[in-house]
Structure 1
Amino acid sequence: MIKRRLVEFAVVCLVLTWVPWGVLGVLGVDPGEGVGMLVFALAASGPSLAALVLWVRHRERRRVVRWSGVWVVAAVVLGALPPLVACALMGELPALPAHAGSVVAGAGGVLGAAAYTFLAGPVAEEFGWRGYVQPRLREYFGPVGTAVVLGVVWGLWHVPLYLLDGTGQHDDGLFTQQALTFFLELFPLSFVMLFVTERLRGGVPAAILVHASWNLTQELVPPLGRGEWVELLVMTSVAGVLLTCWTPVRRGGRVAA
């Protein structure tokens, strides 16, 4: 049953995402303007939309999240820490205020930057990755295995963006340092999200906060260049520390990893 649901999710998600992106690419439509922007945004919401479709179809109950200041603070700090530490170690902190101000102004102010940060990625994806896929992978894998599998899936889902002209990923290029460090960082980041969603019981909202905090901080700090490797190292170190804090969880009367 669980495997079938994962296959269903994969099919629905790819149809909702890769097909529209492919059409935009074939037709040469700019994904940053007019109808192209609308199609692109809906397609980018494929993971969360796929989860919604399957939840409704199978009439599944959603888990109730208990709001806590602990996981809220942890999610924000854990997402922002790697880019900030990398920025500091690369000596770019003095340039941060000016660069951050320029980014916020370009997004239409603080509210515009906040709205874009939460919608473009976190809300569009996390109901699918952390809300639907992650709990089902946990039936087969431990914390590390789940993070690795989900990191691979998450990375593969992004690949078409590097082939679609008009996206930031296409500008970076697929076979570049930026792309390599991005894909590698998805593995420890997936573990960090697993920790805040499961161990701290923050659920999808916690994953959204981590994702949003990571995205926003990466935009606000000046371009890191080779410092992206430092960010990867910091994120991996954070995941390693959290792994040492992992303790067994009781599920249905039995102890699970």
Structure 2
Amino acid sequence: MTETAQLPVGNGRLAVGNPWVFFAATFAITWFFWLVAIALEVSFSSAAGLVLLLAGLVGPGIAGIGFVYLVYDERGRADFWDRLTQVRRIGVRWILVILLLPPAVTLVAAGVDLLFGGPGATWGEGVQEFGSNPLAILPALFFATLPPLLEEVGWRGYALDRLQLNWSALSASLILGVVWSMWHLPLFFVDGTYQHDVVGFGTMGFWFFTIGIVPLSVVFTWVYNHTSRSILGIILLHGWVNFVAETLEVTDSVYYIHWMLVAVLLTAIWGRKTLTAAADVPRPPLPTDR
């Protein structure tokens, strides 16, 4: 492994491959477009707003691909595209986990909510209108599948590997989860987003959404490390989590608490083997790591 290239940062020097450099680039790309929307008071439900929304969403993916080509040599780059395109990495067992886990968590959360006098699960708006207008499901499909594709190329495709070089899988998951959560923050101030129109800034829903992303990061790492670091598998899981949540709605407090319980359960059961021991985590090829 060659000596890492350095970029000057203040009075010190920081390796290009440092995940915090990637995070800074990602936030710069995404927040630029979303802060422009806030400053211009543009709604994401408008054409101009949709352009700004999508331009911000590509931040993690563009930065991820850019840093893969900046940091890795040909072997590392080939590994990246293989992880993004090869279904064989996932395996039948983990495809079943991906397909069954989100609806299982949602249905259990709905059942618990009913037991405590809550509404349980309700159909999302798109599903309610599906009988009279089948096209009503398309917005849910679009926003469930597109963001994971644009995000996970960077979050799990690049950043998670870099974090797991120096941190345990659990610590790396928590760090990435907090960063991933904070990345969404401008959406709470832009009209036409779920975060602004439904959740609201500073509400209880805001705190459940913001904190609830972190245990999802732990679950994603668990699947990622068991599927030969498959980016495609995480895109599928992320998209399926979104789609299930948008079509079968459960009270946020109950829903996110159950994802927290899943994360705690995974940590307790698999412990050092998959979530706490950095030495047990598959390593990316780093022959010319910069």
**Residues 155 and 197 from structure 1, CA distance in 2 versus in 1: closer, same or farther, beyond 3 angstroms?**
same
Q: What stretches of structure 2 of length at least 5 have no aligned partner?
A: 5-13, 84-88, 282-290
Aligned match of 1:215: 242
Aligned match of 1:199: 226
Note if 1:25 corresponds to 2:49.
Answer: no
Q: CA deviation at 1:184?
A: 1.6
Quick one: percent identity of the two aligned structures?
A: 26
Aligned match of 1:230: 254
1:45 to 32, 43, 58: 58
C-alpha separation in 2, matches of 1:199 and 1:247: 14
Q: Which moved more, 1:57-66 or 1:151-160?
A: 57-66
C-alpha separation in 1, matches of 2:222 and 2:129: 30
Q: Which moved more, 1:67-76 or 1:100-109?
A: 100-109
TM-score (normalizing by structure 2): 0.75
Deviations 1:63-109 (A, max 9, x none): 4341411111112222333222222222346x645856226577825
In the alignment, is the contact (CA less than 8 A) between 2:42 and 2:190 conserved in 1? no
Q: Which moved more, 1:121-130 or 1:28-37?
A: 28-37
Structure 1 segments (4+ residues) deviating >6 Å: none
Note if 1:89 corresponds to 2:112.
Answer: yes
Deviations 1:132-175 (A, max 9, x none): 11111101111221111111101111111112233221122221
C-alpha separation in 2, matches of 1:245 and 1:179: 30
Aligned match of 1:127: 153
In the alignment, is the contact (CA less than 8 A) between 1:151 and 1:187 conserved in 2? yes
Q: What stretches of structure 1 of length at least 5 have no aligned partner?
A: none
Aligned match of 1:116: 143
1:72 to 90, 95, 109: 95
What is the aligned length?
248
- What's the C-alpha RMSD, in Å, of the aligned pairs? 2.7
C-alpha separation in 2, matches of 1:107 and 1:201: 37
Which protein has the larger Cα radius of gyration, Structure 1 or Structure 2? 2
**Residues 186 and 37 from structure 1, CA distance in 2 versus in 1: closer, same or farther, beyond 3 angstroms?**
same
Residues 93-104 of structure 1: matches in 2 within 5 Å? 96=122, 101-102=127-128
Aligned match of 1:156: 182
